[in-house]
């Protein structure tokens, strides 16, 4: 636990504390009464209410739509399954500003629905909810489907042989086993929607505002650090309470599971019902996920002779380098962030998975998720304020961006690996130890084969979120080394068709890079050369 605790203390707790202190402490005195003043304002109460209920609605809608997809990808074997699994993950890595713009092109004024049927959903909560489902669909499919694919189907078949109906066997055998994974996925979706920024800002207009949007507005537009600090504290406390309850409920449902090679559980659909379920999931993916992506590609090709793509190679007064260099920067940053997140997250998951872990260690489980629930704007701004003195004066160092991205990636590593680590039967480790294996050999020959698939999935998640991280990176990315999301946001913020087209072209390139990387990951994690 030493390295994860030190990492989160230095690169998360310290920057957040620095920005809060800057907002609430002036002339050497703390002004804590400001908290009550801000929270009791009617407009702030409205922001708090909308933030909470839209996050709950988005989470419920995402689970309702994505759980059938998790089952299909885990249990059905069909042509193009690996490619489609990589494709459904691409929306998750897109910057939220791009997601908002893509849905605006679909449901906004002059969008596809407006042209075909005269239907407009922009500035309505439905556009926000659908965009959140688009963004978080892969979270449920990957997190729940990853464990679902490794559950031994013979346990459910045994219940059927004893007279249980298909529904009862699933409800009494499979659902309890999937409980921790479903809870983990719901938690991640809730945190992402609770702190939603780009989607709400673009699709909600002036009518709707979340805490994240309000913190950004108070920080960068009104320059009221005092109000922004209070909202950060409110967000921090709310997310901390949610994570504490989640950790307690998941701990109560833990059980050892029989895990098998995921490739052995996938079968070709049988019967009209399974084929209808597969068709329904494919139709949902096509309409909800692929259509917005197709709109982005179409907009990027709007210029003559790939003009938007060719413009990316030219020098631009918005950047100190051609925008095309943002691709190489993002890949380098994401690889470094993935390595950091894997080391920190794997160590934390290994410590948390121990049955004899103390209460203090188990409490750290909830704290690990706080970077997903605290404003990324606050973290990025806090980096500039806190990490400005030796020996941690990192403001001009390239490592600052991967560190910020790893803060978001590490919780995904923990949440992906922890259910599988906790599901490993402790008797396997004990038997290996009795036969003379050292702790290192026990981990290498017992735990690693069982969690290898989860480790690869965690690496893919960390790489994906690092590529798409925007909130903190926009504050700390240097003008001569912009990332793809920062470059897209800067181009979208400038008027003109050329700038808009270049933003869509960069977004399309980002989608292609992510799709290739995730497809490689799919092939690696379905390699059956080893036994689980």
For residues 133-156, one letter each, b for 16 or more C-beta atoms within 10 angstroms of the residue's C-beta and e for the rest, the string is bbbbbbbbbbbbbbbbbbbeeeeb
The answer to whether 384 touches 474, Cβ cutoff 8 Å, is no
Residue with tokens 């078949």, as numbered in its chain: 157
pLDDT in tens, 160-200: 788 877 778 777 877 777 877 888 888 888 888 888 877 88
Confirm whether 206 is domain-assigned. Answer: yes
Question: Which of 49-63, 255-269, 444-458 has the weakest average pLDDT?
Answer: 255-269
Question: Which of 64-78, 256-270, 306-320 has the weakest average pLDDT?
Answer: 256-270
Q: How far apart are CA 394 and CA 389, in angstroms?
A: 8
CATH for 254: 1.10.3720.10
Residue 530 has pLDDT above 50, yes or no: no
Mapped to the 3 state alphabet, what secondary structure does 377-432 carry?
HHHHHHHHHHCCCCCCCCCCCCCHHHHHHHHHHHHHHHHHHHHHHHHCCHHHHHHH
Q: Omega before 391 cis (within 30°)?
A: yes
Confirm whether 532 is domain-assigned. Answer: no
Give how far Cα 363 sits from Cα of 15, 179, 407, 479, Å.
21, 20, 18, 39
The answer to whether 157 touches 57, Cβ cutoff 8 Å, is no
**Span between the terminal Cα atoms of the chain, in Å:** 27
Task: Name the pTM for this structure.
Answer: 0.74
Residue 190's CB is within 10 A of a number of other CB atoms, namely 23
Confirm whether 531 is domain-assigned. Answer: no
Confirm whether 530 is domain-assigned. Answer: no
CA-based R_g, the chain, Å: 23
pLDDT in tens, 448-481: 787 877 788 788 878 878 887 877 787 787 777 8
Q: How far apart are CA 423 and CA 362, in angstroms?
A: 16
Q: How far apart are CA 322 and CA 491, in angstroms?
A: 12
Q: How far apart are CA 22 and CA 19, in angstroms?
A: 5
pLDDT in tens, 60-115: 999 999 999 888 888 888 888 877 877 787 787 677 777 877 887 788 766 777 77
Task: Give the pair of three-digit tokens for residue 267.
Answer: 């079968």
Bridge partners (DSSP) of residue 25 are 30
Residue 159 lies in domain:
2-525
The predicted structure's pLDDT at residue 342: 92
Hey, is 260 helix, strand or coil? coil
How many domains does the structure of the chain reveal?
1
Confirm whether 502 is domain-assigned. Answer: yes
Bridge partners (DSSP) of residue 29 are 26
Instruction: State phi, psi for 34 to the nearest 5 degrees.
Output: -65, -30
Confirm whether 429 is domain-assigned. Answer: yes
Residue 433's CB is within 10 A of a number of other CB atoms, namely 14
């Amino acid at each position: 636990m030493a390295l994860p605790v030190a990492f989160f203390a230095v690169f998360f707790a310290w920057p957040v504390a620095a920005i809060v202190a800057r907002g609430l402490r002036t002339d050497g005195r703390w002004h804590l009464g400001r908290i009550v003043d801000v929270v009791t304002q009617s407009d702030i109460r409205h922001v708090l209410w909308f933030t909470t209920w839209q996050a709950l609605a988005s989470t419920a809608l995402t689970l309702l739509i994505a759980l059938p997809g998790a089952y299909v990808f885990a249990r059905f074997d069909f042509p193009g399954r690996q490619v489609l699994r990589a494709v459904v993950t691409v929306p998750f890595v897109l910057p939220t500003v791009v997601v908002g713009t893509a849905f605006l092109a679909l449901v906004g004024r002059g969008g596809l629905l407006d042209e075909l049927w005269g239907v407009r959903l922009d500035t309505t909560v439905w556009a926000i909810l659908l965009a959140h489902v688009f963004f978080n669909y892969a979270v449920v499919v990957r997190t729940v489907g990853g464990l679902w694919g490794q559950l031994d189907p013979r346990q459910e078949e045994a219940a059927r042989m004893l007279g249980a109906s298909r529904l009862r066997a699933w409800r009494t055998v499979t659902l309890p086993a999937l409980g921790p994974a479903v809870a983990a996925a719901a938690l991640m979706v809730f945190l992402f929607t609770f702190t939603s920024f780009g989607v709400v800002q673009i699709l909600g207009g002036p009518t709707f505002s979340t805490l994240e949007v309000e913190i950004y507005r108070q920080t960068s537009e009104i320059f009221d650090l005092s109000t922004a600090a209070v909202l950060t504290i409110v967000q921090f406390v709310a997310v901390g309470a949610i994570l504490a309850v989640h950790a307690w409920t998941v701990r109560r449902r833990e059980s050892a599971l029989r895990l098998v090679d995921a490739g052995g559980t996938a079968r070709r659909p049988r019967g009209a019902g399974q084929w209808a379920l597969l068709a329904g999931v494919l139709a949902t993916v096509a309409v909800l996920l692929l259509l917005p992506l197709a709109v982005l590609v179409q907009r990027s090709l709007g210029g003559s002779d790939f003009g938007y793509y060719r413009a990316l190679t030219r020098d631009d007064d918005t950047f100190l380098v051609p925008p095309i260099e943002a691709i190489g920067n993002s890949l380098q940053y994401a690889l470094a962030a993935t390595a950091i997140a894997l080391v920190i997250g794997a160590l934390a998951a290994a410590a948390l998975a121990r049955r004899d872990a103390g209460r203090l260690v188990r409490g750290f489980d909830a704290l690990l998720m706080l970077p997903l629930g605290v404003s990324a704007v606050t973290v990025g701004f806090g980096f500039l304020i806190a990490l400005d003195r030796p020996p941690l004066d990192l403001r001009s160092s390239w490592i600052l961006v991967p560190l910020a991205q790893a803060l978001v990636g590490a919780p995904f590593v923990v949440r992906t690996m922890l259910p599988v680590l906790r599901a490993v039967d402790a008797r396997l480790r004990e038997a290996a130890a009795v036969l003379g294996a050292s702790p290192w050999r026990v981990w290498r020959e017992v735990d690693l084969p069982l969690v290898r698939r989860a480790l690869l999935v965690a690496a893919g998640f960390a790489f994906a979120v690092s590529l798409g991280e925007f909130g903190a990176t926009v504050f700390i990315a240097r003008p001569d080394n912009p990332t793809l999301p920062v470059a897209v946001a800067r181009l979208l913020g400038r008027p003109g068709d050329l700038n808009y087209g270049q933003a869509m072209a960069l977004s399309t390139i980002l989608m292609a890079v992510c799709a290739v990387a995730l497809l490689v990951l799919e092939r690696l994690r379905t390699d059956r050369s080893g036994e689980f």
